[in-house]
Chains A and B, each alone.
Chain A
Amino acid sequence: MSNNKVYWRGTEELEKAPAFVKGAEKEFSEELPIDQFLANKDLDSTNTSRRDFLKFMGFGITAATLAACETPVVKSLPYVVKPDEVMPGIANYYASTYFDGYDFASVLVKTREGRPIHIEGNKLSKTTKGGVSARVNSSILSLYNKRRFDGPMKEGQSIDWATVDSELKQQIENVKSNGGNIRVLSSTMISPSSQSLLGDFRTWIESVSESVDGEVTAQSTVKHIMYDAVSAAGMLEANKRTHGVEILPGYHFDKAKVVVSFGADFMVNWINPIAFARDFSKTRIPGENMSKHFQFETVMSTTGSNADVRGAIKPSEMGAAIAMLGNAIAGMIGSGDKISASLSSDDNNVEGKIKEAAAKLVAAKGQSIVISDSNDPNVQAIVNGINQMLNNYGSTIDFNNPINLRKGSDAAVVELISEMNNGSVDMLLVMDSDPVYTSPASWGFADALSKVKTVVSFAEKPDATSQNAGYILPVHHYLESWNDANPFANEVTFTQPTINPINNTRQWQDTMMIWMGMSDSYYDLLHKKWNSEVSASDDSTVIFASKWNVAVQDGVSVMAMPKMAIEPVFNSEAVSAAASALSSPSEGWEVAFYVKTGIGIGINADNPWLQELPDPVTKVVWDQYATMNPSDMREQGLNTLMGEQQKAGMVRVTVNGISMELPVVAAPGQKKGTVGVALGYGKGYEGDRLIGENAFVMLSVVKGFVQYSSSASVEKIERRYNIASTQTQHTMMGRKILNETTLPDFNQNDREHWNPAEMISNAYGEKVPVSTLDLWANHDIDLGHRWGLSIDLNTCIGCGSCVTACHSENNVPIVGKDEVNRTRSMSWLRIDRYYSSEADPDIHGDISQEKNYDQMEIPSDYPEVGYMPVMCQHCNHAPCETVCPVAATTHSNEGFNQMTYNRCIGTRYCANNCPYKVRRFNWFNYVGDSKFTDVNPSSDNLARMVLNPDVVVRSRGVMEKCSLCVQRVQAGKLDAKKAGTRVPDGSIQTACASSCPTNAITFGDINDKSSKVRESAMNDRAYHLLEEIGVQPNVWYQTKVRNIENSAEHTA
């Protein structure tokens, strides 16, 4: 049906008005003045011709077209008012303090345009002295962790701060009026201001409850419980028994000539490892005064792998071994009672090593340290007795400069749990701690927690405790916080924010102050506290404001702290009591729980830098595993090899009725009959995969003290599991790669004997050093700068701090487990770990005659270990440079082997021709490829903020490698140019060199006659890796010197 409707434009049309009808046919109702326009005489006189018109048209269209094709606009907003201190392109450094309840370090935070991007050590600190560890310098990435809470939560639902504050205030009022109990649980708290705030909180609660109606019905109580995931309670208890003081003494490893450690991983884990490693490295300079380090332990730890003499013992033998040492020393100095002690099995001459240790200790009386990581007060008491016999107190071990880093008490937690269980805890505040995760299952912390009326978790990100907490009041990352710390009696350090809070979070201190109705912030509290402390004890005329500014700027201060004056009196009866209470070694499988160098106790287990940091010893990444001695593994039919298609066998480890199924990794040096299991897993993720399981639950508790070892049952299961490792070949195959010698050899013979130059026959058949024969024209390397590195293999402990520092500085991509398994780790700097042992004629045959290569691939059961950091060697005759068809890698006139990313077409010929295999190829687009979305921080918009804007993120298909931090060198040169000076030695540091806790890496100008790097590159210990192929690197290595009589001594 057609539409009969009529549409009309107006009444004129409807009525057919004549004026309308006349104009209706025209497009324009009015006459256009065209004729008039064309008649205009001026038109002819204009300069715009038809051709010009076409030109303008053409230009206009072209311009419009081009404008339409413009690349997407990325908006960058300029500062309307630029902050004084921020200069785009110039980094700002802020001193701060890292303390997470486990690791402590004074740090410098590098920020660019308001973003913290890198962490270095604070050289002003008297304790950590500019050292950092991998865990500390990786913490920068945790700031940008997308798993962090954004805003408070109640029962899993988001809630706003005002509501949560009022609700909790109300609950606190209720507790107060009902005389309830509030408990505060944290890890060791070293912040004096936080502690005094907690004191105020307690006073507030307890005083108010008294004043209700003047009638005290029930007294409210507040208690603060400190609890460490890896406890030193046994040590504190032992010190209380033997010295009457419940503190940890300061240890002066720099004054020790002999160190005997029973299980204490003091270079990377034990109490204050950064400072200990740094101090101890000073004694490791080869020469007459080089220290000697004995380690007796179960799992090959990072520290143990660096020991001169290492004995493998079962965990249950530790007490006996220490007692044997004590007996031997007592025998030599003719004092003390003998303790009956013996090892259950000794397959690596532990007894002989203990005797030797005793002799060395006695010879270095007063200049030695004996330590143990045992949490059994009896064992620790015997250690104290030994140190007392050796007169170490007051010289190397100092109660007047105690360490505050471990104050947790196992007994206090047990008491808390029983309080919780009987329902007397009304409110539990948990901060800096994840007790549900870190406590042994036998404590039943989670069950007890459910009986607490209100649980408030001050967590940064989801953890086991916050999952069980009614309220989650997320806190700042430390880089967003104010705080102070008192890690050692004589040092105060400060934490200051380096960025505005990224998420909707609040420091717990601020929260508590709001509850208490205080109007000022925690910063004000800090400021006031130190103002009063200083004015009370200091009479100097300098006003506090300037002192405060200096202190915060420096991050460390000697602002008055009460001087410790402890005169501990040694109580020898405590030692004999301990000796009689010593438990004896047990038979059967034992499991040792240990803390890994990268993952630690799991606080930053979701940090991909740390997950991809190879374990120093096993070189495994992204996984938890059980370590076993390879000979045990062979006995059980487990695969000892690693590789892309070498799946690891698995075992079921059962302790206290709790089982874990773990892949097994061969760990030569591990005591036979034991299994090592790492703590700190079951917390981190790779994409959606939860990595590992929580082993803390398997810990057993003996007489109230948590024990980090236990007897266990171990059975092979048929499953197999892929393990990714960055190194699958473990020995040097008899090559001179990691050059090493013994101290007597070093002291008595000249370098020809222990570091011979590589010789080659010239055309006349004369032997000449390799470096003198040369096919190539030399680069002009004697003029100007010639940057170089010198790496001391003697002080390198393999901790991997340099590796994560390099990742942070150079935006090195994280590639995930699967890619590492395919030997595609992108790390510019790798630390090679080699096992070595004297060739066993039975196994290896006579290797001087005939190379039995198959057998040389297999490390011995109890080998020596050496670490060798390898990065681009910046060869002066670089094999990579000649083969690139497009000259994308070239030599600079300052000694760099440079990589021009945007010229590279990715033939990978350079990587093939690199004898050191240090070139890394961008196999994928690590930023955009879906495989890396959940793994590589730079593919996440938030985590991208950690990228260093001075270093480009490399595209797919190009080669990359160590640049010796060329961006830092350029910046340093510019600074010197502005100052009108030569580049001062040491003013430029590569990321690896500055992060090294033991100063094993020295960077500088080889052409600077007074530079440190030149001095070490020219000394007798220096050599080039693969000198014989004549590539003339700009990286030198310093021969490793082991303080042993001969190499057979160690491996026994």
Chain B
Amino acid sequence: MQREAAIREPLILGNKTYHQITEDVCAPVEGKANKYWYIVFSISVMVALWGLGCILYTIGRGIGTWGLNTTVAWAWDITNFVWWVGIGHAGTLISAVLLLFRQKWRMAINRSAEAMTIFAVMMAALFPGIHMGRIWMAYWVFPLPNTFGSLWVNFNSPLLWDVFAISTYFSVSLVFWYIGLIPDFATIRDRAVKPVSKMAYSVLSFGWTGNAKAWIRFEEVSLVLAGLATPLVFSVHSIVSMDFATSVIPGWHTTIFPPYFVAGAIFSGFAMVQTLLLMARKVLHLESYITIKHAEYMNIVIVITGSMVGVAYLSELFISWYSGVEYEAYAFLNRATGPYWWAYWSMMTCNVITPQLFWFKKLRTSLIVSFVLSIFVNIGMWFERFVIIVTSLHRDYIPSSWSMFHPTFVDIGIFLGTIGIFFTLFLLFSRFFPVLALNELKSILKSSGDNYKKQH
């Protein structure tokens, strides 16, 4: 049995027993959803349906329904893609990297963080698909044996690297998440009284017996998957950044991109986790498990990664001047002072300036401030991608081709739609899946639980 220093703050508050934890986590699954859930769910489904309608309209009529043009051939589509991929980073980082680093506080948040990752990556994966002019040919990006002659994919293309990176990341995350869910599903199965749910959770729990051997294997698999997932956390966004870094466009062609994108991804991922968990904590009454300390830990990660992103922004600016490259210098000056100055300064404010407030303990332990700032970061990180993509493209080498990007209702609809789909999935998750890793939480109850700490 592990012991923990008494001065460490407890991670499970209140007088919880193992049974109490089971009861608390299973309550949303077994009980009836409250009014708020239905309201939020209905709104999410409606927004999701609107988004799906916009997607179908795009597929039916053409990419011309978006605001893109000859000069700015990517805008909200890839902005949303990178934004969602970035958000999809926190889950795996929390469950894999923090597992390897034995950070116990991850146990309260990793389940929902991973779910969020899965859903975010699903949203992200949507965009490379629907942004294609001919989505019905999308399978051509896979190196499939084919009868089209000796047609093969182009391994030089960063977009192909994306295909591999995202699909690998998605499958590993999914497996990792699911493996973690098995013992918890089994718990629900064992408690289920209705035949349908008993049946469903039996299937989902893969016949988990809960014997010692199973637990040993479970721990081993988790460790192996954590080892596999950890490099993916860094590789996925590095590769996404190469979509830009390997190009010739000033503002994209930057060697700093891989680490800068990874830091940004973790930054935005934690912000989204923060947003979701602070809501879940309230709605699902998980105040004992998701504590202020948890929020504080995440705020610390946010302020650190936010500062890294800030350093990256400033290095970019410095290098654009220091390089003496005409086009590079203009690209960055144009970001800050050109027609899209508002996007740049929104990004700067939300990503670099406001997270610095977390240096103050009072602010980083305030749930309201944490929530508001996490929304700021979500917005800021969306603007970061918008700034990188649109303001670099809209004024590149040849001034005669300079133009502006104006989104259409379809652009907006699809973006909001993915948020709708994401929340729909997350709300369903919160009703049917154990939102906390209850069996893992039990493993720290006696070392980090409030009442046990008090006893020693």
Contacts and interface: CB of A to CB of B under 8 A. Distances in A.
Interface stretch (B7-15, B111-119, B158-166, B440-448): B158-166
B69 A885 contact: no
Interface of A: 643-645, 727-735, 737, 819, 822-825, 830, 832-834, 851, 853-854, 868, 870, 879, 882-887, 903-909, 911-913, 915-917, 919-925, 929, 955-959, 1025-1026, 1029, 1031
Interface string B245-270: 01111000000000000000000000
A911 B402 CA distance: 14
Interface of B: 61-64, 67-74, 128, 131-135, 137-138, 140-141, 151-154, 156-160, 163, 243, 246-249, 326-327, 329-330, 333-334, 337, 393, 395-404, 406
Contacts of B333: 851, 853
Most buried by A among B62, B70, B72: B70
Contacts of B71: 823, 917
18 contacts: A645-B406, A727-B400, A728-B402, A822-B406, A823-B69, A851-B329, A851-B333, A853-B330, A882-B154, A904-B134, A905-B135, A905-B137, A907-B159, A908-B63, A913-B249, A916-B398, A925-B62, A1029-B397
Most buried by B among A824, A830, A868, A923: A923
B79 to A, nearest CB: 13
B73 A908 contact: yes
A226 to B, nearest CB: 43
Contacts of B67: 822
Contacts of A921: 63, 68, 70, 73, 133
A338 B86 CA distance: 80
Nearest to B152: A887
The 9 A-B pairs of least Cβ separation, nearest first, read A906-B133, A957-B133, A923-B64, A832-B400, A823-B69, A908-B73, A917-B401, A887-B154, A957-B134
Nearest to A914: B248
Contact of B70 (A737, A911, A915, A1031): A911
B160 A885 contact: yes
B404 A912 contact: no
Given A882-B156, A886-B140, A905-B132, 20 more contacts: A645-B406, A735-B399, A737-B398, A832-B400, A882-B246, A884-B154, A884-B159, A885-B160, A905-B138, A906-B63, A909-B243, A913-B248, A915-B248, A915-B396, A917-B396, A917-B401, A925-B62, A958-B134, A959-B133, A1029-B397
A825 B61 contact: no
Contacts of B140: 886, 903, 905
Contacts of B397: 735, 915-917, 1026, 1029
A666 to B, nearest CB: 16
B399 A731 contact: yes
A917 B74 CA distance: 13
B64 A924 contact: yes
Nearest to B334: A853
Given A887-B153, A913-B247, A913-B249, A923 B404 contact: no
A272 B333 CA distance: 49
Most buried by A among B62, B128, B247, B249: B62
A733 B397 CA distance: 10
Contact of A1029 (B61, B151, B248): B248
Nearest to A882: B156
Contacts of B70: 823-825, 911, 917, 919-921
Contacts of B128: 907
Nearest to B329: A851
A819 B66 CA distance: 12
A906 B153 CA distance: 14
A375 B158 CA distance: 63
B407 to A, nearest CB: 11
A957 B60 CA distance: 11
Contacts of B158: 883
A1025 B400 CA distance: 13
B61 A879 contact: no
A923 B403 contact: no
Contacts of B399: 729-733, 735, 737, 834
Contacts of B395: 729
B132 A909 contact: no
Contacts of A883: 156-159, 246-247
B66 to A, nearest CB: 8
Contacts of A907: 128, 131-133, 159
B153 A728 contact: no
Nearest to A643: B404
Given A729-B400, A887-B152, A923-B62, A904 B133 contact: yes
Contacts of A955: 134
Given A912-B393, A929-B62, A917 B133 contact: no
A823 B157 CA distance: 27
Most buried by B among A730, A833, A913: A913
B248 to A, nearest CB: 5
Most buried by B among A908, A911, A929: A908
Contact of A733 (B69, B137, B330): B330
A883 B141 CA distance: 12
Contacts of B406: 644-645, 822
Contact of A905 (B64, B133, B248): B133
Contacts of A924: 61-62, 64
A607 B337 CA distance: 42
A906 B134 contact: yes
Nearest to A733: B399
B69 to A, nearest CB: 4
Contacts of A913: 247-249
Contacts of B151: 886-887, 903
B334 A824 contact: no
A550 B192 CA distance: 98
A912 B134 contact: no
A853 B156 CA distance: 36
A854 B330 CA distance: 11
A856 to B, nearest CB: 9
A909 B159 contact: yes
A830 B398 CA distance: 12
B165 to A, nearest CB: 13
A730 B401 CA distance: 10
B403 A728 contact: yes
A851 B332 CA distance: 13
A737 B397 CA distance: 9
B157 A833 contact: no
